[in-house]
Amino acid sequence: MDMTFQQTVEAYLDAIKKRDLQQLLTAITFDEDIDVILFNGTHFKGRALVANLHSAWFADPDWKLEAQIVRTVETPEMAYAFILVDYSDEKLGDKPYKEQQYVTLVFRKQNGHWLLIHDQTTVALSGQG
């Protein structure tokens, strides 16, 4: 049974929280038409690079992520999720790191499945949101 868009987004976020690379990859497009842009502007393009990025990130046991879906927009072929994330890392550099981030996820329906084609993170400015 195919998942709805909402179920796909929730499964994607759950995969991140559980550091489950295989589950995460089931929601990513199979072709090279995927872009991930990190909060610092670093751009990764293509499934292999995105998989390697997440594999390295998931290997770090010190971070936590809490996500709240703020808004979704869905059409028959494409969908978008706007997410507010509380991100923390106990051992990043010389002191603990904590910030809010906005995450934009864009999915395209391919062969009956919602698959991620764009993931962009932006640091939320203090006093915004």
Amino acid in position 2: D
pLDDT of residue 125: 84
pLDDT per residue as tens digits for the range 2-51: 889 999 999 999 999 999 999 999 999 887 789 999 989 999 999 999 99
Q: Would you put residue 112 in left (φ > 0), alpha (ψ -120 to 50) or beta?
A: left
| Mean pLDDT (whole number) for 39-64 | 93
pLDDT of residue 128: 47
pLDDT per residue as tens digits for the range 69-97: 999 999 999 999 999 999 998 877 777 88
Q: Which residue matches tokens 């559980």? A: 18
pLDDT of residue 2: 81
